[in-house]
Structure 1
Amino acid sequence: MKLSKLPVFLASALLVHTMNAGAQESQTTTPVSADAAREALAKKEGEGDQTALLKETLTAVDKQYSLIRKGKIQYTYDLNYSYIGQEKIVTDFTTSGLTLFDIENVNSHIITNTFSADYGVMDNLTANVTLPLITKYAETKGHSGVSNSVGDISLGARFQPFEARRDTAGLTFTGNLRLPSGRSPFKIIAGSGEATGSGVAALSLGLNVNRIVDPVALFGSVNVTGYAPATGLNQVNGTRVLNRVQPGPTFGFGVGFAYALSYGITTTVSFQEAVSAGAKLRFEDGLNVTTSTQTSGVLSMGLGYRVSPKTTLNFSVGIGLTPDSPNLSLGMNVPLAF
């Protein structure tokens, strides 16, 4: 997926975090404060009001925007499948200029198993680490195969500067550092499709906004990502050898809403777009090339199913809207308890 590879691969909903706590705690802990927002959103015995349901389901649907209490740990497993089909123009640079060689189809089927852990540093500050395990089948002209590898590990944090209140918008600042632990696309046979990582370190900063308008939760987000260069390369591309790659910065935004159909079912719809500036490539013979700007847009639809007071299973489907987006993605989110 190319939404910052998007860090994320699909963010189907922005969470409502009005109590600075996870959904599991909201079901088992009696509120100890008389604060109006806590009282309004706390689920009382025998109640099934839409606001409480939205809070719980959205927390599970996209827990990366949730905050948990100080000292608590939450684990989550995400399973995602994506398909990318492209027609790739293969070119090369010679002394006479740019030469067209061929147009070939490139198809990739990617299964990502992601394990993540959240730790409450403070009631309004949550740290996060994610470990993706990737299985990828790629088929190109003259090559096909399966690769299994660790993806890019991420370290993140979410900070809520103000106490959330029922009648005001909630703000959450996010930061994420992605480490190039996956198989780099610059250290494999060019065009083989065997990469499972981005090959460069990246730092993302963002802001998420959400507001409850019963029985709907509205949300939006903006983020910017910068990349470190990939240096010391020795990858053969056509008749040239690639030595250095500097990806351009990426700006992204998203909007959407979640709606509680019943006490056990919630739906979400969201749209995300990312615009990435062209990358700068440097070859061994001194040639410098800048690639074109890429725009990736994805429409996501999600369904949350409450199977127990503490567990909500979440399913999502994403549809690529631009040539630079994955054609199709399917996701499942499962909270883990130990």
Structure 2
Amino acid sequence: MGKHVARLGAAGLAAMLLAPVVHAQQPPAADQERSSELATLKAELAAQRALVDKLMRELQAQQSKIERIEEKRDGTGPALADLALPPRADELLLSEQRGTGGQNGTVPTNVPAPANNRPPPTPVPAQPAPRTAATQAPAQPQQNTAQNTATRNERDQRPPEVAPLFEAPGVLTPRGKVIFEPSLQFGYSSSNRVALVGYTVIPALLIGLVDVREIKRNTFTGALTARTGLNNRMEVEVKLPYVYRSDATVSREIFTGTAAERVFDTSGKGIGDVEIAGRYQLNDGGPDKPYYIGGLRYKSRTGRDPFEVVTDCQTRCVGENVTGTGLPLSLPTGSGFHSLQGSLTWLFPSDPAVFFGNISYLHNFKRSNVERLVRNGIREPLGELEPGSIIGFNFGMGLALNDKASLSLGYDHNTVARLRQNGRPVPGAVRTQLGTLLLGYSYRFNEKRSLSVAVGAGVTRDTPDVSLTVRMPFTF
């Protein structure tokens, strides 16, 4: 009995001594779970650090590109052509803020641009990424967001484009882009002329002849225009027009003594005067800051000369022995003179509108030994002719209707000086005022194609009664 009790006591003592050892060799399930969570957190932290490092490298690369652009502007960095970057920010905003858009698409106009055109830092995801292959999935959206933000901030610096009303566009073509623009213009004008040849006995009685003429004129001009950007500040343009004209004159020939009216129809068609132009952006504008664009246009005399068409006169068209109507039997398609025009355009964006204007001066070069061709192949010498110079100005406002359409209102005015012959003003020649009210509409179908329509109404006697211009530029 005593031995048995002694054995039981020894066994209990051994169990008490071995219990901590067994407990140490077999950790509980809670410790195993805690160790697993710790390993998971370490893996997630490593994946997140890799993601942050990748985003920081991308951000530093973008900042480096922007700094090189700024160095190039100061003349201390490499050429922009070596950087393979998009066009300059301040020259892209003009087509991106308004409904007509530009060659690179449309972006919102209310996104503020950061200082120095630097993209804002990309946010880091707050939640840890899982340990699977999907860990890298969030990196692509973040990368695209950073690139889109940088592109948007650059484009927001471009001046806004408006529906075109005048000959010269307001937005310069980006470097490397080519715009091919077919256009069609129609103009109609009518005028009445009354000439009294005789003498008056009393104010109500005229002894002599009355020459009454009513002229209806229609002009169609189809043109192919191509322009390209030499750099992000300068573009060149070539315009090739084709002209069709028709005139109908209802008159009674003077000195004939008859009251019968006759209709004199004449027309002409052919290549017009080819034009070459260049435009250069003078400054860096921005929101509530004007943009200034200088332009220079040269007009040749490739069209049919007014002095090459036959005039309806038997011998001479001036003096007392006038026979015939004195009107051309066919109409010219060109002006007959070389011209050079300088202009300055300004655009002032004030969201949601854009105000614009232009001043210009056109000089017509004089010609010597000019002769007019009459019937029977006779040439009548005219001597030296110098057309009057033209001073012009226009202004208007463009308004975006939505992200694709825009509307423009404007006024165009030109003052034409007197024609001079042999250094003296031609008798009867006066300074002419041409004023036109313009309404334009533009719709952008996509990034590469748009449609513009402009309607003009003459407000002075010598201006065409109505003009209609349709343009459809294509960007390549």
Partner residue of 1:125 out of 202, 212, 234 = 234
* Aligned twin of 1:7: none
Separation in structure 2 between the aligned mates of residue 252 and residue 309 of structure 1, nearest angstrom? 33
Conserved in 2, the CA contact under 8 Å of 1:20 and 1:68?
no
- The CA deviation string for residues 225-283 of structure 1, in whole angstroms up to 9 with x for no partner, is 11111333221689975333211111100010011112232111000100011011349
In the alignment, is residue 27 of structure 1 matched against residue 105 of structure 2?
A: yes
Separation in structure 2 between the aligned mates of residue 184 and residue 83 of structure 1, nearest angstrom? 22
Separation in structure 2 between the aligned mates of residue 330 and residue 36 of structure 1, nearest angstrom? 44
* Aligned twin of 2:34: none
The structure-2 alpha-carbon separation of the partners of 1:140 and 1:126, relative to structure 1 and needing over 3 Å to count, comes to same
The structure-2 alpha-carbon separation of the partners of 1:36 and 1:110, relative to structure 1 and needing over 3 Å to count, comes to farther
User: Please, which moves more after superposition, 286-295 or 228-237?
Assistant: 286-295
TM-score by structure 1 length? 0.78
- After TM superposition, the structure 1 = structure 2 runs for residues 207-286 of structure 1, keeping only pairs within 5 Å, are 207-235=344-372, 241-282=381-422
* Aligned twin of 1:189: 310
Conserved in 2, the CA contact under 8 Å of 1:67 and 1:158?
yes
- The CA deviation string for residues 31-69 of structure 1, in whole angstroms up to 9 with x for no partner, is xx9776799xxx98xx9xxx8999355479876332122
Partner residue of 2:169 out of 43, 46, 64 = 64
Partner residue of 1:199 out of 324, 336, 341 = 336
TM-score by structure 2 length? 0.57
Aligned amino acid, residue 300 of structure 2: L
The structure-2 alpha-carbon separation of the partners of 1:65 and 1:101, relative to structure 1 and needing over 3 Å to count, comes to farther
The structure-2 alpha-carbon separation of the partners of 1:37 and 1:152, relative to structure 1 and needing over 3 Å to count, comes to farther
SS in 2 for 1:27: coil
What are the ranges of 5 or more consecutive residues in structure 2 without an aligned counterpart?
1-89, 96-100, 108-112, 120-147, 198-207, 251-262, 312-326
The structure-2 alpha-carbon separation of the partners of 1:169 and 1:183, relative to structure 1 and needing over 3 Å to count, comes to same
Conserved in 1, the CA contact under 8 Å of 2:164 and 2:454?
no
- Structure with higher Rg: it is 2
What are the ranges of 5 or more consecutive residues in structure 1 without an aligned counterpart?
1-16, 93-98
Conserved in 1, the CA contact under 8 Å of 2:177 and 2:475?
no
In the alignment, is residue 148 of structure 1 matched against residue 148 of structure 2?
A: no
Conserved in 2, the CA contact under 8 Å of 1:37 and 1:164?
no
Partner residue of 2:289 out of 168, 178, 202 = 168
User: Please, which moves more after superposition, 256-265 or 124-133?
Assistant: 256-265
- 1:305 is displaced (CA, Å) by 1.8
Conserved in 1, the CA contact under 8 Å of 2:92 and 2:157?
no
Query: What is the alpha-carbon root mean square deviation over aligned residues?
Result: 3.7
Separation in structure 1 between the aligned mates of residue 193 and residue 115 of structure 2, nearest angstrom? 58
Structure showing the higher helix proportion among its residues: 2
Conserved in 2, the CA contact under 8 Å of 1:155 and 1:176?
yes
SS in 2 for 1:26: coil
In the alignment, is residue 158 of structure 1 matched against residue 295 of structure 2?
A: no
Structure showing the higher strand proportion among its residues: 1
* Aligned twin of 2:183: 78
The count of corresponding residues between Structure 1 and Structure 2 is 304
SS in 2 for 1:308: coil
